[in-house]
Structures are given as C-alpha cells and as structure tokens.
C-alpha cells in the first residue's frame, strides 16, 4: 500500500533526473549541472502534472528523503585531510568570505526588507557551496519551494558569468597560479564552476581551487546546525506561551548531517578505491537531481518570478562583495 502511494511521484522524479543526466552528458562542459537541469525540467512540467494528486506523496518524499540521501553520499567527495592541505591562507580567506557573505546578507535583508529565509539561502550559497548548500538549508528552515528555486537560479547566473570572466581577470591582473586558485576557490559558488574557472587558468590553479572549494563544503555542517537553532528560536518566539522555554537541540538537529560526516570519514580512511568513490559521488549527484526535480515539480515559473527583482539584486551584492573581499585579502597576504 505504501509503495503504491509513493511510487508514481518517485518514478516521475527519477525519470526527470535520468533525462537531466542525458542532457548534461551531451553538453560540452559540466557548466549548468544536472541538478539545475532537473530543477528547470521539473518547473517546466509543473503546469502539466501539478493537477495529478496521485503524484504528490511521492514527489514530497523525493524532495525530502532522496535529497537527504544525496547529501549524505556527497560526503564521499571530501576528506578531512583536504582541510589541512588547503593551508592557513585558505582558512584565513574563508573566515573573511564567510563574514562578508552573512554580514552583507543581513544588511541587505534589513535594507531591502526581504524574507530572512531567502536571504539566508543566498548567503549560504555564496559562502559554502552554491546549489548544494541551498538544497540542504532550504528544507531545514522550511523555505518555500519558489524561494529555493530562486536562490538556485541566482547561483547559476552568477556562476555562469564567473566561469567566463574570472580567467580573463586573472590574466589581466597578472595573478599567479596560487593566488588565482585561492581566489576562485573562495569566491565562486558551485563546484563545477570552480573547477571550470580554475583549470581554464592553469592546472595548478584548478587543483588548488578545487581543494579550497571542497574545504568550504565541510562548513555546511556547522552552518546548517546554527540555522536549525535560529529557525527553532524564531518559531518558538511566535508563541507567547513558549517564549521562555528552551529549544530542544535533539529535536531540531539535522541528523542526516551525521551521515555526511560519516562518509567524509570513510573517504579519509582511504579504504575505498577511486572507482568506488567516483560511483558513490555519481549516485549522490543523481539523487540530488532527483530531489531537485521533485522540488521543481512543486514550483512554477510564475511563483519564482513573483519573488521580484530585489532578491536578485541582493544575490549580486553578496556575490560581488565576497569576490572583492577575497581579492583584497589575497592582495594583502601576498
């Protein structure tokens, strides 16, 4: 009975992920990413499929549980040793960029009077790891699907520009492989865009940028936990009778993050071959695409465009601020 309830929606979500994979493989470079393709396909299908109630349960299940599984498996692409390999310079840079992303995001939220959930997703996208961070944080703070889709779209637009422009800027400014790799690794959002921009400059810059980017990904754990607490406090303070009660950390803790850490540990032990790591990473990306396809099925383009121009302005301000701060700090250090 349970299978009959969830199967139709899950199957449709998996089919969208399969089509997204095929499209991504046809493209000359992994620039857009199959997850974003799946989101867009889901949104395109929304007007046709949203009226079929039989799909709802499976789509909701995919958007929640398949997403969490994909995030857990994503830990296999990162090892704890990479944090140390990135070196003290990268960690100093990350400190400044994190403060910039969330600080500027907070200021913009006050100035433009934008919903805190959307601003938080735009900030974490810039600070941590683009679309993966948005997809992880969104459900934890129960953000609207249209806001999740909007944040993902804003991330993609900025990353598309950085892949094209950053290598030219690096050459024009006479940056070294090291400084360019550190800059791209801390200032560009999505992993595929970091890799594309880094290796477009040089092999060394690409390798360093990738390590720094993966190090940023590790910080998704404490950031998501912090936002879980913030969201719980906000919910609690909405009820007068609950204002003085303590937040139950165990109840709000995003337990799937422990699975993410566990897979980082597995990778750190070097007990899996490169083929296994690649396979698990591929499955993770497919599950993420499945979940984002499901989120797309629950979201229409009309809803996303109704969010307005202000959040896109905020996204640009946050992204540009991080790019500038990262470059300035690098210039001082080197």
What is the Cα–Cα distance from 135 to 288, expressed in whole angstroms? Answer: 8
* Whether pLDDT at 281 is above 90: no
Q: How confident is the model at residue 238 (pLDDT cuts 50, 70, 90)?
A: low
Quote the pTM value: 0.72
Banded pLDDT at 51 (limits 50, 70, 90): confident
Helices (H), the chain: 2-26, 34-49, 56-61, 67-74, 80-85, 87-112, 116-124, 131-140, 145-172, 177-187, 191-201, 203-218, 220-237, 249-252, 256-268, 274-297, 301-305, 310-333
| Complete DSSP assignment for 35-65 | HHHHHHHHHHHHHHHTT-GGGHHHHHHIIII
Over the stretch 241-263, which tens digit does the pLDDT of each residue have?
A: 444 445 555 655 667 778 888 99
Question: What average pLDDT score do residues 62-80 get?
Answer: 83
Query: Which pLDDT tens digit goes with each residue over 120-151?
Result: 999 998 888 777 788 888 888 888 888 888 88
| % of the chain at pLDDT higher than 70 | 89
Structural domain that includes position 312: 2-333
The model's confidence at residue 12, banded by pLDDT at 50, 70 and 90, is very high
pLDDT of residue 85: 62
d(Cα 13, Cα 63) in Å, to the nearest integer?
9
- Highest-pLDDT range among 47-51, 183-187, 308-312: 183-187
Asked which of 50-64, 292-306, 311-325 is least confident by mean pLDDT, the reply is 292-306
**How many domains does the chain fold into?**
1
pLDDT recorded at residue 9 = 92
Mean pLDDT of 56-71: 87
């Amino acid at each position: 009975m349970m299978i009959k309830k969830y199967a139709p929606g899950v199957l449709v979500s998996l089919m969208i992920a399969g089509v997204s994979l095929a499209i991504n493989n046809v493209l000359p470079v992994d620039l857009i990413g199959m997850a974003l393709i799946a989101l867009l396909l889901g949104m395109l299908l929304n007007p046709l499929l949203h009226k079929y109630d039989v799909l709802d349960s499976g789509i909701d299940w995919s958007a929640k549980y398949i997403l969490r599984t994909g995030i857990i498996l994503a830990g296999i692409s990162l090892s704890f040793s990479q944090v140390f390999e990135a070196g003290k310079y990268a960690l100093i840079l990350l400190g400044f960029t994190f403060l910039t992303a969330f600080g500027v995001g907070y200021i913009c939220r006050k100035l433009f009077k934008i919903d805190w959930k959307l601003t938080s997703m735009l900030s974490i996208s810039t600070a941590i790891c683009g679309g993966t961070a948005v997809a992880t944080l969104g459900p934890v703070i129960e953000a609207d699907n249209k806001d999740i889709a909007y944040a993902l779209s804003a991330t993609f637009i900025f990353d598309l520009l950085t892949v094209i422009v950053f290598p030219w800027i690096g050459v024009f400014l006479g940056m070294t492989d090291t400084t360019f790799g550190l800059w791209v690794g801390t200032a560009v959002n999505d992993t595929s865009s970091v890799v594309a921009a880094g290796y477009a400059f040089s092999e060394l810059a690409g390798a360093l940028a990738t390590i720094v980017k993966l190090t940023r990904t590790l910080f998704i754990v404490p950031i998501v936990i912090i936002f879980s607490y913030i969201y719980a406090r906000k919910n609690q303070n909405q009820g007068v009778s609950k204002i003085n009660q303590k937040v139950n950390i165990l109840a709000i803790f995003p337990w799937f993050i422990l699975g993410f850490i566990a897979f980082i540990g597995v990778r750190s032990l070097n007990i899996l071959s490169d083929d296994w790591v690649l396979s698990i990473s591929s499955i993770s990306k497919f599950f993420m695409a499945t979940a984002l396809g499901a989120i797309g099925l629950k979201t229409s383009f009309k809803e996303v465009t109704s969010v307005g121009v202000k959040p896109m302005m905020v996204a640009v301000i946050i992204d540009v601020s991080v790019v500038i701060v990262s470059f300035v700090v690098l210039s001082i250090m080197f």
